[in-house]
């Protein structure tokens, strides 16, 4: 096949993203700037990734220091930053050991592999099935898109990976099926982000956790989007009075620097041993420098306090808009992960918002997803409210 490009307008980048018509070149705090010098208020946080805002000084300083020393050395050697970050994560969670990788999909891959290997090598029962839930989202590798309970994510990738099944989300009666399935693990989000910003019902979660404990099923919580303070606590599971066997994290851990991890309880972690899993770049000195600086700052400052206060203030502003505009049907989510349920096209709102120098996202066809940094201020939320209302007014006028 010839590699000559006969279409001059063909981008060298594969078209896997429906990109917004804006080119971002700079960011600081809650703001970004495009290549024309326009300042935009960013209430996407890189999809719940820049939890401390763009280019936070504590993380920047740590990365600049690490850049002068060592970038990469592989996991065949001890990495001090990695040890310190793992210690900080386990000290502030219910877990005991950490495996580092590069992304959320890889973290969920690691969780799935750990569940299967624990069932086979530790329990010796031969179970390989992992149960997830309808409308979930767990990644875009072959295993994690199969774990994702959305057909649109899976289309065109058949045959899907074997060993996965799905149950309805927030349905207590459906949990009875776990007894017959006898899976190796259950994987769930406590707020379904991509699936529509749908929080898990606490009673349902506690029933699920009890069943998993009684039947010796690994309970695995996907905290890729909800973790590192996004919902008001360091991890969302803390708000549900449960202790997962495995927690997968990524996004907010590195302030935009690629890093992911799973945190496992000691018993579950027995599923891995030397040679059973690995990652060339996972947990390298640069990535863990970013993670260590990010997590340390969140734990040592008032970031979580601010996040909770600003979440309450944002709720008030969104409720005011809901009272004013009939097409807003509901407000849902936790902390600074908000979903505005609308009766019209959410993507039209997100696109029009750019005209008003505001960046927001969608979570399905009728949910506007709002993700400010945890460091957001009341002035910035006020600015957001004004820009979002201007967006609504523009759409009503047919502009």
pLDDT of 5 reads 53
Tens digit of pLDDT per residue, the chain (399 long)?
A: 555 555 558 889 999 999 999 999 999 999 999 999 999 999 999 999 999 999 999 999 999 999 999 999 999 999 999 999 999 999 999 999 999 999 999 999 999 999 999 999 999 987 899 999 999 999 999 999 999 999 999 999 999 999 999 999 999 999 999 988 899 999 999 999 999 999 999 999 999 999 999 999 999 999 999 999 999 999 999 999 999 999 999 999 999 999 999 999 999 999 999 999 999 999 999 999 999 999 999 999 999 999 999 999 999 999 999 999 999 999 999 999 999 999 989 999 999 999 999 999 999 999 999 999 999 999 999 999 999 999 999 999 887
Instruction: Order the strands of the 337-342 sheet from edge to edge.
Output: 328-334, 337-342, 367-370, 361-362
Six-digit token pair at 385?
Answer: 């409210």
Task: Give counts: helices (H), strands (E), the chain.
Answer: 13, 17
Residue 312 burial class via C-beta count within 10 angstroms: exposed 0-12, middle 13-18, buried 19 and up: exposed
Residue 341 vs residues 82, 89, 344: alpha-carbon distances, Å: 40, 34, 9
How many CB atoms lie under 10 A from the CB of residue 129?
Answer: 18
Q: Give the number of other CB atoms < 10 A from CB of residue 382.
A: 12
Q: Which helix (H) or strand (E) holds 393?
A: helix 378-396
> How far does CA 223 lie from the centroid of its chain?
6
Instruction: Retrieve residue 27's tokens.
Output: 């960011």
Instruction: Return the pLDDT at 168.
Output: 98
So what's the pLDDT on residue 398? 84
Residues 28-33: contacts with CB under 8 Å, at least 24 apart = 28/53, 28/54, 28/55, 29/53, 29/54, 29/373, 29/375, 30/54, 30/372, 30/373, 30/375, 30/376, 30/377, 30/380, 32/359
Helical axes 80-91 vs 285-300, angle rounded to 10°: 30
Treating both helix axes as pointing N-terminal to C-terminal, what angle do 378-396 and 346-355 enclose, rounded to 10 degrees?
Answer: 110
Check residue 172 and report its DSSP letter.
T
pLDDT for 306 equals: 98
Question: Are 272 and 100 spatial neighbours (Cβ–Cβ below 8 Å)?
Answer: no
Bridge partners (DSSP) listed for residue 101: 260
pLDDT for residue 179: 87
- Widest CA span in the chain: 64
H helices within 151-274, ranges in order?
151-154, 177-181, 202-214, 266-269
3-state secondary structure at position 305 = helix
In the chain, the DSSP E strands lie at 24-28, 31-34, 39-42, 97-101, 130-133, 164-167, 185-188, 191-192, 198-199, 218-222, 246-249, 260-264, 328-334, 337-342, 358-359, 361-362, 367-370
Six token digits for residue 63:
């990365």
**pLDDT at 8 (0 to 100):** 57
Cα distance between residue 128 and residue 43, in whole Å: 40
* Helix spans in 187-284 (H): 202-214, 266-269
The set of residues, in sequence order, having a beta carbon less than 8 Å from that of 258 and lying 6+ positions away, is: 102, 103, 281, 287
Q: Which residues of 68-96 are buried (b: 16+ CB within 10 A; e: fewer)?
A: eeeeeeebeeebebbebbbebbbeebbbe
Q: What is the pLDDT of residue 399?
A: 76
What is the token pair recorded at 124? 């010796």
Q: Which residues pair with 390 in a beta bridge?
A: none
Question: Which residues are CB-neighbours of 4 under 8 A, at least 6 positions away?
Answer: none
Domains of the chain (ranges; CATH) run 24-55+303-396 (3.90.1150.10), 57-300 (3.40.640.10)
pLDDT at position 348 is 97
């Amino acid at each position: 096949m010839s590699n000559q490009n006969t279409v001059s307008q063909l981008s060298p980048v594969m078209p896997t993203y429906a990109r917004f018509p804006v080119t971002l070149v700079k960011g600081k705090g809650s703001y970004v700037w495009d290549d024309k010098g326009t300042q935009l208020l960013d209430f996407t946080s890189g999809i719940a990734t820049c939890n401390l805002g763009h280019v936070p000084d504590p993380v920047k300083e740590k990365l600049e220091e690490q850049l002068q020393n060592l970038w990469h050395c592989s996991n065949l050697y001890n990495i001090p930053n990695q040890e310190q970050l793992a210690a900080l994560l386990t000290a502030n969670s219910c877990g005991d050991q950490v495996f580092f990788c590069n992304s959320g999909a890889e973290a969920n891959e690691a969780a799935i592999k750990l569940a299967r290997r624990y069932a086979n090598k530790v329990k010796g029962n031969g179970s390989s099935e992992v149960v997830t839930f309808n409308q979930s989202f767990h990644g875009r590798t072959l295993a994690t898109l199969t774990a994702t309970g959305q057909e649109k994510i899976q289309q065109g990738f058949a045959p899907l990976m074997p060993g996965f099944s799905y149950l309805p989300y927030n349905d207590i009666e459906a949990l009875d099926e776990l007894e017959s399935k006898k899976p190796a693990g259950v994987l769930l989000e406590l707020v379904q982000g991509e699936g529509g910003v749908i929080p898990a019902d606490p009673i349902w979660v506690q029933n699920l956790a009890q069943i998993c404990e009684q039947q010796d099923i690994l309970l695995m919580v996907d905290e890729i989007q909800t973790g590192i303070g996004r919902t008001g606590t360091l991890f969302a599971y803390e708000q549900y009075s449960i202790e997962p066997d495995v927690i997968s994290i990524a996004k907010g851990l590195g302030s935009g620097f690629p890093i992911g991890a799973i945190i496992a309880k000691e018993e579950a972690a027995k599923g891995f041993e030397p040679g059973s899993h690995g990652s060339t770049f996972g947990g390298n000195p640069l990535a863990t420098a970013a993670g260590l600086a990010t997590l340390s700052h969140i734990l040592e400052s008032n970031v979580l306090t601010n996040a909770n206060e600003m979440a309450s203030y944002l709720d008030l502003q969104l409720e005011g808009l809901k009272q004013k505009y009939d097409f807003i049907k509901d407000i849902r989510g936790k902390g600074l992960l908000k979903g505005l349920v609308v009766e019209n096209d959410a993507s039209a709102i997100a696109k029009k918002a750019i005209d008003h120098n505001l960046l927001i996202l969608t979570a399905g066809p009728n949910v506007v997803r709002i993700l400010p940094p945890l460091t957001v201020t009341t002035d910035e939320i006020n600015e957001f409210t004004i820009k979002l209302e201007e967006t609504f007014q523009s759409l009503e006028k047919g502009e």
